[in-house]
Chains A and B, each alone.
Chain A
C-alpha cells in the first residue's frame, strides 16, 4: 500500500489556511466532520494572570496550554475524497490546511511534561540524533 498526499494549496494566496487554530481535547468524540468550535468552545477560553488557560467541554473543566510544534515542523490537515474498501489499496489524500500551534487541553489537570503528546514529540529530537547528518 502506498500513500499519496497532494498539495493543491501550494500556491494559495490565502496564508491563513495554514495558520488555523487547532485544539487537542482529552476526549474521544465519536463523530467525524465539522464542529462549531467558534460558537461553542472558543468563547469560554480564559487566560488567568499566570498565563494558564481554562475552558470547558461537555461540562468538563479543561486546563490548557499553547503548544508550539518543534522547529522546522508544520502540521497539515488532509482529507480523503473516498476511502478505498480494500485494506491494501493505495490511499490518496489532499492537503486541506494546516496549523502552527495547538491548544493542548487536559481534563482537570494542568498540562505538564508528562503528557503523552509532549512526550511523543521527544521523538523528533531523538530522530534528528539518529537519522540527522
Chain B
C-alpha cells in the first residue's frame, strides 16, 4: 500500500457487507527489537458505515519517528493532516523501516447481525474481539510485541484484566484518551480513522442506489445529511440499504415509524413468569366451554400439532 488511492482501491475490491483485514508488511526490525503496539478504533458511534479497528507498532526505542510523523492526539488533527500522516506511514523511509500497522474493517451489516443475534453480542464484544484478533495476527506474523497500549471508551479496568489474561506475556495498558497520551495509539487511531473515511468515500451500494458520501454525510446521527438519508431511504419491506446499522436506535425508531412492522420469532430468554404460570390455570379458562370426555370438539393429533398443520377448510385466510 503506497498511497491513499491504493487504500481506496483495496477497499473497493472487498465486499462491503463483510469484514476484512488490511495491513502493512512487517518491518524487519520489528521481528527482533522489542516493540510497542497501539490499538484504537474509529466510527463507533455513527449509524452509517463500518467501524474500523487499527493497530500500529514499532520498536520501543524508535518512538521519536512517530513524533516526527506528527502522531499526536488524532482528534485534534484535521482530516487533511491525518491523510498526510498516513501517506507518510505508507511511503516515508524511516516509517517503512520501523512502523507497521494493520486494520480490520467491521461492516455495518456485521454490526447489525451481531447485535441482532439470538444470543446478542454487544458492540463492546465486537470491539474487543476485533482488537484481540488484530493483536494475535500481528504477533503471529513475527512481531516481537512487549508492550500494548489500548484506547477505550468504557471502564479500562475490566478490559485490561481481560487482555492481560489472554496475553500474559505483554505489558498491557488500557486507558481513556490513550490516543492523546501515547503516540503509538495516535498512529493506530490515524490508521483507523483514515481507513473509515475512505471506506465511506468509496462505498458502493448493492441496492442500485447511485449516491455517495457527499449525499449521505459522515454517518453521525447529528449530521443533517445523514439524518436526511435515514429519513428518506426507507424501503417498506427491507428497511434500509446495508450501509445502515439497523441496530442503532436512530434507524430502528425510524423503521418502526415508517416501514412495515416485522416480527421475528421470540427468543426464549429464561422467563420465570412463564414457568411460574405453568401450574396455574388462567382465570379466563374457567369461563370457556368445557370439553366433554366424549366431546364434540376433537383434538388434533400431536402429529399435526407439531407440524403446525391445520385442516384447510379456511384456506387463503
Query: Are A107 and B118 in touch, CB under 8 angstroms?
Result: yes
Q: Are B235 and A61 in contact (CB under 8 A)?
A: no
Residues of A within 8 A of B109 (CB): 44, 56, 59
**Is B238 touching A59 in the complex (CB atoms < 8 A)?**
no
Inter-chain CA distance A42–B290, complex, in Å, is 50
Q: Tell me whether B316 and A44 are in contact (CB under 8 A).
A: no
Decide: B208 and A39 in contact? CB cutoff 8 A: yes
Which residues of B (185-222) have their CB < 8 Å from a CB of A? Answer: 206-208
From A30, A43, A60, A107, give the contact of B206 (CB < 8 A).
A43
Instruction: Kindly state whether residue A58 has any CB partner on chain B within 8 Å.
Output: yes
CA–CA, A79 and B302, complex, Å: 33
Q: Are B263 and A58 in contact (CB under 8 A)?
A: no
Check B316–A39 contact: CB distance below 8 A.
no
Binds A, one of B67-75, B92-100, B305-313: B305-313
> Which residue of B has the minimal Cβ distance to A28?
B263
Task: Answer whether A61 and B264 are a contact pair too, CB < 8 Å, given A40-B207, A116-B308, A119-B307.
Answer: no
Interface flag for A66 (CB, 8 Å): no
Complex Cα distance, B316 from A78, in Å, reads 10
Q: How far is the CA of A35 from the CA of B237 in the complex (A)?
A: 6
| Interface SS, A side | mixed
In B275-317, the 8 Å CB interface with A consists of 303-304, 306-309, 315-316
Contact A120 B238 (CB under 8 A): no
CA distance A39 to B240 in the complex (A): 11
B308 adjacent to A40 (CB under 8 Å) = no
- Identify the closest chain B residue to A122 (Cβ): B307
| B164: Cβ under 8 A from any A Cβ | no
The answer to whether A129 has its CB under 8 Å from any CB of chain B is: no
Interface residues in B101-128 by Cβ distance below 8 A to A read 109, 112-113, 115-118
> Per-residue 0/1 for A119-131: is the Cβ within 8 Å of any B Cβ (1 yes, 0 no)?
1101100100000
Residues of B close to A41: CB separation below 8 A: 238
Q: Any chain A CB within 8 A of the CB of B246?
A: yes
Interface residues of B in 215-262 (CB under 8 A from A): 235-239, 241-242, 245-247, 255, 260-262
A26 with B207: CB separation less than 8 A:
no
In the complex, B265 has a CB within 8 A of chain A:
yes
Contact B264 A56 (CB under 8 A): no
Query: Interface 1/0s, chain B 139-166, versus A by CB < 8 A?
Result: 0000000000000000000000000000
Q: Does B170 contact A (CB under 8 A)?
A: no
A71-112 near B? 1/0 per residue, CB < 8 Å: 000000010100000000001010000000000000111000
Closest residue of chain B to A119, judged by CB? B307
What's the least CB distance linking B275 to chain A, in Å? Answer: 23
Contacts of A36 in B (CB 8 A): 235, 237-238
Q: Could you say which of A26, A27, A78, A123 contacts B307, with CB atoms under 8 Å apart?
A: A123
Please name 24 pairs of A and B residues whose Cβ atoms are closer than 8 Å in the assembled complex, sorted by A.
A3-B315, A26-B264, A27-B265, A30-B262, A36-B238, A40-B207, A40-B241, A43-B207, A44-B109, A56-B17, A56-B113, A58-B246, A59-B116, A59-B246, A59-B247, A60-B116, A60-B264, A61-B113, A61-B117, A91-B316, A109-B118, A120-B308, A120-B309, A126-B303
Pairs A-B, 5 closest by C-beta atoms: A59-B246, A59-B112, A31-B260, A40-B238, A43-B206
